[in-house]
Structure 1
């Protein structure tokens, strides 16, 4: 330990933080570049390299977190106190300081990540990689085939369980060493509020939007019953998870054709058909997403973005296809990593991922420890907020469609968006609720799978297509579990994206139905937006939220307002039905 860290004075705290920021910046860049190579070229060697640098970074982060505790009682300025708290709270998986713990943890997490990325199934006489299994779930309609693909993908995750057990044990020990009861409490402490109060806050937000979900679930259940019959979709049970057009039943947009509103001749825009008709390529989709941000006054992305990004899946090598945005030097080396296809989902995804990139660049002038968002829901909400502006008026303005559909097409459009955004809400909530129970020991390893399905039934109203075997580890079939990415950010992002979006629409003086608003081209919104983004994590999220929206509280009412016409329609359709599960 450095000599200046021996005495917990303000002067020594300044020296400590200066050293920390310099060292972490250098090592983080090396770790990011190593992780990029491994994610875009998975081999034994790249995995070994990432595991080694990841362990080194974990060791250093844990060391600094423990040293930061020394200053808990030192009188420090607000910015220095915030940096100390960031050091203690921002490690996703802390290893204890005992010899070899960080190396073991890193080896385990790399193994888990690779197990997911390289997973395949056999279907129709062919070997199908992970990203193609998602396409099968979107396009198949035969319940037996859907069950086959769904079940086979979950065979891959069985082998992860022992590693996951060991990972939880090591990371919990690391969290306790830092002063937390368990890793879940540590994660919940990272929101500028008491961890128990945060748990109550997400329940409050869920209560605001739950009626939307309940009505959507009911309508979808009855439509699927009409399609598949009582034997496959009994009306008095949760919906089978494999029938909802998504490997994890987290978004249901792919079954729109089965559940679209009846009696409405006007159709929502077929974005995929429009993209293909206008010769869009994956590259052109990314360029169009970039043009949304530049229309708000943001500077274009650097040339290196297009030179260095993985926009499409490379031929002949294993890569991580899960979409992500990167800033490899925390300054201007911005990239995305995707296996982009020309479809509506990926058109929205590229807007989302570029939202991360523009956010990363906006706060890159902050001190190193403040180069992040103040609440991890912010980062996810930025691109999603922009995606809400992908309205028919926007598509017409950029030349993707000749004329916007009539007002009667609003319900189909809202239904499409609800099948993704509203349907996602309970899944976004329960992934970390499950992990909180795992980390606290409320669920023991032999209860993990049953606990997973208990939460999925309670919050989502879904069930597996068949009884799950005793050795199943179905949570591992979702990337963010073996990838160890906290998930509550995605739930918060769904709430915040509508809150941000409504604030932007208010700023341009929009007076029509909220769902028709597009702030494309508004430099005023861009200036106010950038002012918030530039602050990074230099202040509590409540301050940043207030600067852009005028309120210090996360609020689901904007989402409810956005979907109000659909909610009214669904309540009418569901009258007299056997809703619930």
Structure 2
């Protein structure tokens, strides 16, 4: 009932951006906490009726306009224009190679989670060999599976690190969380936050007005004014986010001396990677104990597997989604995927790469890519896939400089590394950040890691104990690794919902008004934590 009222409210109030952002918490809560198959299916389906279907006709016009703009800038299409900052003629092939390195680990994790969901919902909903229904993974786009950790936890009763209760007990405030992050950077011999950061940032939700609360970092380009906007809540999750956003600010501070044209990351993925590489240290039990948020560290194999599972449900599950988003758009912009096949091409990618399926059959009357903020807002997405790969390369290099990781020493595994208080690691990171985009990214990569290529094998190295455990567990339970189905997931025929009286045509849902208004209205809709 609650989800029905929320979605009816959405239909009636779509023209108010702030109302739609307030809906984010309600829809997110339902998908995160409900275990009612029908309710989750309803929320998933109706959100796409209310958002994606409204966008399709506008998006056709947008693609034509975007490609026209790209041609005026000397590119064949907008996809090619997006690839330009990566300075590689083989970039798409490089990304495919990286995904090929990662696929075996993802498939093992997929098989394990599918079994756990089958035990939760029953084989009538989750088959033994098929793709996973997209609405059961705790997230509107199945891009992160953290919220099913309670179902997928390998060892019940073993420690699961969440220091939120300790933070509350110790009277943490948003200000104290940012001060703790600032101290982390200071411990690395990096630049601490300037006075303007503390006076001008928004780190708590204002009481007197509504704002879009999605966390973001800002460089006001005058060399001294750098700010964060975040409606911080005293939780461990937000503590990690604080360090991520402060990573962006640190990057700004380090390259502020560069000419303005070079004040950005070496490639679009580097900025996201810097914040996340620090978070890899902050999330470790070792670090949380050092800063007084954890009384004891449970150092045993079962606790390790639980920790790595929790990390994998965030990091590993995002990778195929991060990879396929722009794969779909590159082919749309180039014309390889014609307009009549847009939605079914989307589901082909989601099935083939992610191993998921829609909870109800989709059609070309739908436009499910449009239900994801970054599509109508025209935000390139491969940067996030890139950032996930290079952050682990950065992490490994910094951990070795800090003496926290030794591939030959089992007592120093990569997933337990914490670079806190290592000036050697901090100086090496600072040298990378100072470059901005003044050198090509392979040179910047080599300066820190010694290699000039992106290499996803480091992710496999980090998760090696979990991958071994997953292989053994899947074999023990006779679980099929991979997915197959004879279902028709998407069709060019009319949608099945038409007979029920629900809206059946995109044209009946598209409001009047120019394209820029629609894009503005969709800003902020159900943002993911990945920005």
Same-fold status (TM-score > 0.5): yes
Shorter-chain TM-score tier: 0.7 to 0.9
Preserved contact between residue 342 and residue 364 of structure 2 (Cα < 8 Å): no
Equivalent residue number for residue 136 of structure 2: 243
Preserved contact between residue 115 and residue 160 of structure 1 (Cα < 8 Å): no
State the distance in 2 between where 1:565 and 1:137 align.
30
Structure 1 segment 312-327 matched on structure 2, within 5 A? 312-315=204-207, 317-327=209-219
Match of 2:341 among 444, 447, 465: 447
Preserved contact between residue 381 and residue 493 of structure 1 (Cα < 8 Å): yes
Structure 1 segment 17-416 matched on structure 2, within 5 A? 117-118=17-18, 120=20, 129-154=23-48, 155-194=50-89, 197-262=90-155, 265-315=157-207, 317-329=209-221, 331-390=223-282, 391-408=284-301, 409-416=303-310
Equivalent residue number for residue 438 of structure 1: 332
Tell me whether 350-359 or 339-348 shows the greater mean CA deviation.
339-348
CA deviation digits over 1:186-206, x for unaligned, max 9?
Answer: 111221221xx0001011111
Residues 496 and 577 of structure 1: CA distance in aligned 2, closer, same or farther (over 3 Å)? same
CA deviation digits over 1:27-71, x for unaligned, max 9?
Answer: xxxxxxxxxxxxxxxxxxxxxxxxxxxxxxxxxxxxxxxxxxxxx
State the distance in 2 between where 1:151 and 1:252 align.
19
State the distance in 1 between where 2:481 and 2:19 align.
37
State the distance in 2 between where 1:474 and 1:318 align.
29
Preserved contact between residue 380 and residue 493 of structure 1 (Cα < 8 Å): yes
Equivalent residue number for residue 362 of structure 2: 468
Match of 1:522 among 422, 426, 434: 422
Equivalent residue number for residue 425 of structure 1: 319
State the distance in 2 between where 1:472 and 1:283 align.
44
Higher relative contact order (CA 8 A, sep 6+): 2
Residues 476 and 283 of structure 1: CA distance in aligned 2, closer, same or farther (over 3 Å)? farther
CA deviation digits over 1:355-401, x for unaligned, max 9?
Answer: 11110121111011111111111111101101110210100011111
Structure 1 segment 459-498 matched on structure 2, within 5 A? 459-468=353-362, 470-498=364-392
Tell me the TM-score normalized by structure 2: 0.82
Residues 466 and 285 of structure 1: CA distance in aligned 2, closer, same or farther (over 3 Å)? farther
1:469 deviates by 5.2
Determine helix, strand or coil for the equivalent of 1:466.
coil
Equivalent residue number for residue 495 of structure 2: none
1:317 deviates by 4.5
Tell me the TM-score normalized by structure 1: 0.76
State the distance in 1 between where 2:81 and 2:237 align.
33
1:452 deviates by 1.4
State the distance in 1 between where 2:46 and 2:172 align.
34
CA deviation digits over 1:155-210, x for unaligned, max 9?
Answer: 2232222332222211101111222111111111221221xx00010111111111
Preserved contact between residue 268 and residue 410 of structure 1 (Cα < 8 Å): no
1:223 deviates by 0.5
Residues 184 and 488 of structure 1: CA distance in aligned 2, closer, same or farther (over 3 Å)? same
Residues 345 and 330 of structure 1: CA distance in aligned 2, closer, same or farther (over 3 Å)? farther
1:316 deviates by 6.2
CA deviation digits over 1:211-255, x for unaligned, max 9?
Answer: 111110010000010011012212222111111111211111111
Determine helix, strand or coil for the equivalent of 1:225.
helix
Residues 162 and 306 of structure 1: CA distance in aligned 2, closer, same or farther (over 3 Å)? farther
Tell me whether 475-484 or 511-520 shows the greater mean CA deviation.
475-484
State the distance in 2 between where 1:553 and 1:537 align.
17
